Amino acid sequence: MVVSQNRLTIALAGNPNSGKTTVFNALTGARQHVGNYPGVTVERKEGYRRFGDYQLTVVDLPGTYSLTAHSVDELVARNFIVDERPDVVVQVVDASNLERNLYLGTQIMELKVPLVLAFNMSDVADSRGYRFDYERLSALLGAPIVPTVGHKGVGIDDLLRAVVEVASSERPLHEELVHYGRDIEAEINRLGGFLEDEQGLDKYPPRWVAIKLLEGDEEIREKVRRSAVKADRILAGAQAAIGRLQKLYVDPPAVVIAEARYGFISGACEEAVRISTVEARHDMSDRIDTVLTNRALGLPIFLVLMWLVFQLTFTLGAPPMGWIEAFFGWLSELVAGVLPEGYVRSLLADGIIAGVGGVLVFLPNILLLFLAIAFLEDSGYMARAAFIMDRIMHKIGLHGKSFIPLLIGFGCTIPAVMATRMLENRRDRIVTILVSPLMSCGARLPVYVLLSGAFFGPAVAGNVIFSLYILGIVLAVLMGKLFRRYLLPGPSTPFVMELPPYRLPTARGLLIHMWQRGWFYLKKAGTIILAMSVVMWALSTFPRRKELEGQYASRIEAAADEEEVAHLEGELAQKQLELSFAGRIGKGLAHVLKPVGLGEWKIGTALFAGFGAKEIVVSTLGTLYSLGESEGESEALRGALKEDLSPLKAYVFMVFVLIYVPCVASVAVIKRETNSWRWPLFAIGYTTVLAWVVSLVIYQGGVLLGLA
């Protein structure tokens, strides 16, 4: 902001009883003027102060708890900030009651105006045992903080220096200090798109207007009605958004938005405020947090909850998984019975049905996992999980906010990479992007379910899958530490860990969030996985060796019974498969994978196909192992895998799938988000090497322990 003629206008805002008047008097002394704001009876006080080379005009705004314009005082304060655009807003905060006072601050910040926080009554706060990390809290809130004692004049000169510095600064203002959650943010962005080109509203930040419309602010609705060209469309869109959000949350959006602001403030206070005396906190969320975010209990509780999620996912998903499996088995037999033998029947039965069906069979597990994650997110616990992990993330040079994209990575790596946009520090962002593929996304779950179910049984399978998720987290932490120390060194940027109040999620909200992610999985099955299944069928079918077919034709004709015919046909199919393009790729990879126990060429082929999408590992195995089998595809696959793998090798296979190269869609998103090919290529290289090294350690260690 450029200051003209060394004159500054300062707006003094604050809650009633925050000591705002004493600060105003300390700033201006006897040089005050009292009048009324135009059109209302609200008193307007102005004062004047000379400070260095600056002539200051200080306007004492009406005391208010918020800027939602439920009262004339709130409306006057808000309109002054928006319409008269003071050079700096100073919010006087009662330092002994931060959470209530900073609520007003979050709303001022959303107006995108320069802000200085005067932590008044700091002597009272100190006597009550509050200890502030002012530097950290200032960085978290994006505004300078100056401790003051208004009635003693303590800190007033420091406050004026901060005001002059902020007014003269060109630093950008934070527009999205508080994040309101996926659903509300989507509606804000949608409304913001309607507001972008509205010149009649250009003095208001579009995001702020969108939030006010969702809060049902009548004053803003009236301004839109009077000034916007697309007023009807904007207001109709806002009303529809309010309806959609209320169905999800039951409470009106204004309540949810307010809770998010308090969650933001609570998170900031957790990070930078300590209380040395005993304070009675009666809020239910706070009482729950004393257990769930406890330094000793928080991490064990988080691990137990995640363990329960995977146990329930596997146990409850087993029956519907069997129903889907039976359906595709019936469908495959139907196609085989109707169509004559040839490429078309092979493509449909062994390529499309075996490939896509082999992935869709795991849809119940995927939906149950997404349902559990949605419950943890909507209830407010996921924010606590990030807060718990914050202590660990700090040790590797990142912070808990970096763990939020990693949590999203449990669903899919693509939105996890995109979610790193919330990180302001580019180094933090790139490191988080690089370790995001190590989280077990939903696409890997079909591989885990198939192999753990085949080799470990229902009683142990959930524990096996849980161990893979924990391994991914551990590797992400270790690699993050290495990257932050050697690849991208530098200081970490502080942030606010938002702790929203606990809520009982609505059934509608849970189902919508589960279905949104499940539908993404289904779309992949209908597009990428279908295409890759056809490609893998072609690679495993061609080239056909006519001379080999001729050699087996006479032997099949001379066979003594149907059992020998089936055996010879299966032997022919296996030899054709080994000589196909897929077989050659798999045999080439088998030499590299042999030291880690995965020297079977079909395993190598499936891993190669997994670069397209991790689900394709399962569909490729189905395609490769189902050729020549007369029994149901899934049973044949499990039986064939048991012939080629041991439990140790099956576990190593799952570990390799967990770690190795991100899918092609993730690579494309990493390229887009980093605007460089350097980082996606690095991600491909380091994950592949890491997968080989970790798998080698596990396999050779298992062999030494006699587990082979």
> Sign of the CA dihedral 658, 664, 668, 669?
negative
**Number of Cβ within a 10 Å radius of residue 591:** 11
Give the C-alpha distances (Å, rounded to integers) separating 117 from 91, 139, 396.
5, 12, 31
Helix (H, G, I), strand (E, B) or coil at 439: coil
Residues 355, 622 contacting (CB under 8 angstroms) = yes
Whole-model pTM: value is: 0.60
- Which DSSP letter does residue 491 get? P
341-359: pLDDT as tens digits: 777 777 787 667 766 776 6
DSSP assignments along 494-563, one per residue: P-----PPP----HHHHHHHHHHHHHHHHHHHHTHHHHHHHHHHHHHH-S--HHHHHHHHHHHHT-SSHH
How far apart are alpha carbons 1 and 23 in whole angstroms?
A: 25
Binned average pLDDT, 10 residues per bin, the chain of 708 residues: 70 86 83 62 78 91 79 80 90 87 90 91 83 89 91 90 88 71 90 83 86 90 88 92 90 89 87 65 68 85 83 80 80 80 74 68 78 82 78 71 76 76 75 93 86 84 90 91 88 61 78 78 67 74 74 74 73 74 84 92 86 77 59 60 90 96 82 87 96 96 88
- Tell me which of 3.40.50.300, 1.10.1060.10, 3.80.10.10, 3.65.10.10 is the CATH number of domain 7-168: 3.40.50.300
Q: Where do the structural domains in the chain lie, given as residue ranges?
A: 7-168, 182-272, 304-492+500-542+580-704
**What's the pLDDT at 492?**
63
**What's the pLDDT at 70?**
63
**What's the pLDDT at 237?**
92
Look up the CATH number of domain 182-272: 1.10.287.1770
Give the distance, in angstroms, between the CA of residue 626 and the centroid of all CA atoms in the same chain.
38
567-615: pLDDT as tens digits: 777 677 677 777 888 778 888 888 999 999 998 888 988 898 888 778 7
Helix (H) or strand (E) holding 356: helix 354-360
Q: Which residues is 273 bridged to in the sheet?
A: 132
Across 13-36, b (16+ Cβ under 10 Å) vs e yields bbbeebbbbbbbbbbbeeeeeeee
- Look at residues 405, 399, 400, 407 and name the one whose alpha carbon lies nearest to residue 420: 405
61-108: pLDDT as tens digits: 988 888 876 667 778 888 898 888 899 999 999 888 888 889 999 988
Phi and psi at 19, nearest 5°, equal: 90, 20
Residues 442, 364 contacting (CB under 8 angstroms) = no
Across 56-74, b (16+ Cβ under 10 Å) vs e yields bbbbbbbbbbbbbbeeebb
**What's the pLDDT at 493?**
57
